[in-house]
Structure 1
């Protein structure tokens, strides 16, 4: 039996266990220990990751809480930076400063600015009072100058001259603006006409090119047809000559052959002898019995005919003469058939030529019609263009006259309003204290404003009408005698003469310049 200690240490309960069993048991235990160790290490790693994550979160929370604490204690610097984003000076001044110090500094600066604003307002009010006093003093000086000194001063004359010069400049400016507007309209119309006539010219060019291409195509077609017709005529004439020559040779050969055949047919019975002699030479041993129509002579004649036929037919042997004659007959029939076909083709070509000539004439006529139509359209467009130019010229003249008339009317109304400027103004007579000094005259001359002329035609007309009505009412209340009428008439004639004299001088200066 094993002791309890060994059983407790090794776990052995049997005495028959050997070392191998112990080793296996130890190996199993070691594997169990390793597995437990790995599981424990994995749990430790997971727990470590969880603790690290919690630590990072706690650090972030601590950082955010510290920032909140800093904002609560020292103020929000980011808010200040955003507030001072558009104010570069304040941003550079209070960069990374505490909020309470920034507020205190801003309040102090605001207080200083308010004090400065109060000083400026007080200075402005004092200056306005001084300006008002100066204006009153200036008005008094003007009244004294107006009622104490008679006639026009050099400053007033200068003022009148400057006003007239400004008035003429305004008139010229208005005339120049009117002319500029008119020329702009003319340029716009000319641009539209230019674009329209450009399109018309492009269309005419395209039409001309199309007609030219059509005429060139018709001309080329006619030339090709004529060349083709000439070629066919030449081939036909050549073929006709060859056929005629072949026909003549055939007829001559046929006549010769027929004559030879007829001769042979007539002389054939005489060629056969009644004797039974086999040797032809023995039949004619006797010289007296030999005739001119002997067999030898006929045979030689036949051989000569065959040789001539052989020479005419260009064959190598007498047996091929008949074949060559058959071939010539076949060729003759073929040539006749070809002649018939060529005649038909020639007639077709003649018809095509006639059709081409008709087409050419029609194309020429069509081109002439289109040319006449183009010429008519061109004349019509020129006439319309001339009418439009005359209308444009008339409109331009009317606009010039209208603008000139408006300018003259406006100038006359401005002059009338200038003459009636004192109508309706109350007469205030100030007491004479002392004569104005030269310094005051110079000051008035320097401070005298240039009058602003009204440019609105309706306002000028309304103002002139109102003041003329006031004058009429005032004149109706006055007692006018002959002396007053004579003085008024004389004054009117003097003004008219002076006006005509000034206009004459201006015209003379303009012509001389």
Structure 2
């Protein structure tokens, strides 16, 4: 028998195997071992190739990661070379340099260039300002050379217009302040009126509430009185019906009792008992007595009457019938007294109801009168407020118109004073001599200070009046000939044409307008003087030939 070890090692399972079988078995085992070895060697070769391939890939990855690490740490030199490809100077300067140092150097160079650019721009700005000022000066000199004849430059006209605008704004400001003060006063008055009317309204509310409470109380009293009167009427009618029923029953009972009493009274002698007659039936049955009634029948009739009385009076026995009748008599008297008292109370309630209705009507009439008075006062107050608002609007409109008129008058006076500024002024010697007139006039305008604008209305009128008097006196001393008039007329038209041309060119319109002056001769009487003389002649009733000639002024 084969052992378990041999079976496990050689795979022998049968004892009858021969050597050939064993050799074949061993050969098969050897082939199996060889095949397993070849398979194992093939697997090892494949695994070796795979490991080699993985090693090469890892080496490539390590190289790539090292390059990325170098780029991250020291910068990308290839990127810098590509960036500096078109800049030979930068490429030679920063060749094989680290990226952070290259960036720092480039930022520093850029900062220096920006500083230099800012300096250049600042210098350019300064030079442009200097050039602009030079242009303005040259333009001003050119304007002064062009406008040789007397007159204002466009800039001065604009300055005058701005000054007038500022002055007009100040006037409007003062007017606004005055209006503000006036409105404050009006608001104070309105606040006082509001407090007064608030007190009046509160008093009216209290009065209205008091009247309402009074009306409600009167209404409640009237309703209670009506309810009480209805209750009393109902009770009175009920008692009256009960009393009438009781009185009818009493009268009927009394009639019945009287009839029975009368009958008993009439038949009472026949009821007397005789000593001889022991049997009542025999006594009354005697035909000789002539009685048609027997004692038994009468007794039964009396008993029937008593039973009726007992039934009517509702008493338990015949003995109490009289007591009940007395009680009924007493109750009748008491009810009559109660009826009289209730009638008196009813009359009093009717009188109270009439008085309450009268008071209600009077209160209604009083409330209507007060309401009408309140409505009338309210309408009057509303009409007064509307009139005040209308007057306020009219006053505001008048103030605006007056302010506008004052502004126009002041502007015109300022222009007149400006035109008369050279009247009465001393002749100042010119500092520059041997200079052409145009340049001399331009220099005078440059040196001349800007005049201050006078804002006082009275001063403007006084100054204009004085200068006009001086001008009139100077003109009166002159010999006015036809040539002088023609020259003055031509000069005036020249000024007018130049002013219109300047306004057309500069698109500036003078605020005060053009002021025309008419030259008057003091030797020729004016229209006012002629009218005065005519008035004097009419008053004196003297012919014009008797009036002495007034000597002419010289």
TM norm structure 1:
0.59
1:40-72 Cα offsets, whole Å, 9 max, x none, are: xxxxxxxxxxxxxxxxxxxxxxxxxxxxxxxxx
1:432 is matched with 433
Instruction: Assess if the C-alpha contact under 8 Å between 1:420 and 1:464 holds in 2.
Output: yes
Counterpart Cα distance in 1 of 2:164 and 2:189: 38
CA shift, 1:482, in A, is 2.5
2:119 is matched with none
Instruction: Assess if the C-alpha contact under 8 Å between 1:413 and 1:460 holds in 2.
Output: yes
1:182-237 Cα offsets, whole Å, 9 max, x none, are: 25524642563461554554454444444434433333333233222222222221
Instruction: Assess if the C-alpha contact under 8 Å between 1:171 and 1:407 holds in 2.
Output: yes
Q: Does 1:151 align with 2:137?
A: no
Decide which of 171, 176, 191 is 1:174's aligned counterpart: 171
Counterpart Cα distance in 1 of 2:360 and 2:472: 92
CA shift, 1:275, in A, is 3.5
1:192 is matched with 189
Instruction: Assess if the C-alpha contact under 8 Å between 1:315 and 1:321 holds in 2.
Output: yes
Instruction: Classify the secondary structure of the residue corresponding to 1:319.
Output: helix
2:460 is matched with 460
Instruction: Assess if the C-alpha contact under 8 Å between 2:414 and 2:453 holds in 1.
Output: yes
Counterpart Cα distance in 2 of 1:462 and 1:203: 62
2:160 is matched with 163
Counterpart Cα distance in 2 of 1:305 and 1:321: 11
1:32 is matched with none
Instruction: Assess if the C-alpha contact under 8 Å between 1:413 and 1:464 holds in 2.
Output: yes
Instruction: Assess if the C-alpha contact under 8 Å between 2:168 and 2:407 holds in 1.
Output: yes
Instruction: Classify the secondary structure of the residue corresponding to 2:236.
Output: helix
2:487 is matched with 484
Instruction: Assess if the C-alpha contact under 8 Å between 2:284 and 2:295 holds in 1.
Output: no
Structure 2 vs 1, CA of residues 322 and 478 (structure 1 numbering), >3 Å: closer, same or farther?
A: same
Structure 2 vs 1, CA of residues 479 and 306 (structure 1 numbering), >3 Å: closer, same or farther?
A: same
Instruction: Assess if the C-alpha contact under 8 Å between 1:313 and 1:325 holds in 2.
Output: yes
Instruction: Assess if the C-alpha contact under 8 Å between 2:503 and 2:509 holds in 1.
Output: yes
Instruction: Classify the secondary structure of the residue corresponding to 2:318.
Output: coil
1:150-170 Cα offsets, whole Å, 9 max, x none, are: 538999532331231132122
Relative contact order higher in (CA < 8 Å, ≥ 6 apart): 1
Which of the two has greater helix per residue?
A: 1
CA shift, 1:458, in A, is 1.7
Structure 2 vs 1, CA of residues 505 and 399 (structure 1 numbering), >3 Å: closer, same or farther?
A: closer
1:412-469 Cα offsets, whole Å, 9 max, x none, are: 222222333333332322233679xx9xx99x98x99764322222222222222222
Aligned residues: 359
Pairwise CA RMSD of aligned residues? 4.2
2:104 is matched with none
Instruction: Classify the secondary structure of the residue corresponding to 1:370.
Output: helix
Counterpart Cα distance in 1 of 2:151 and 2:341: 121
Counterpart Cα distance in 1 of 2:448 and 2:297: 162
Counterpart Cα distance in 1 of 2:210 and 2:180: 40
Structure 2 vs 1, CA of residues 487 and 209 (structure 1 numbering), >3 Å: closer, same or farther?
A: farther
CA shift, 1:352, in A, is 2.0
CA shift, 1:498, in A, is 7.0
Q: Does 1:378 align with 2:378?
A: yes
TM norm structure 2:
0.55
1:60-89 Cα offsets, whole Å, 9 max, x none, are: xxxxxxxxxxxxxxxxxxxxxxxxxxxxxx
Instruction: Assess if the C-alpha contact under 8 Å between 2:284 and 2:291 holds in 1.
Output: no
Instruction: Assess if the C-alpha contact under 8 Å between 2:281 and 2:294 holds in 1.
Output: no
Counterpart Cα distance in 1 of 2:501 and 2:309: 139
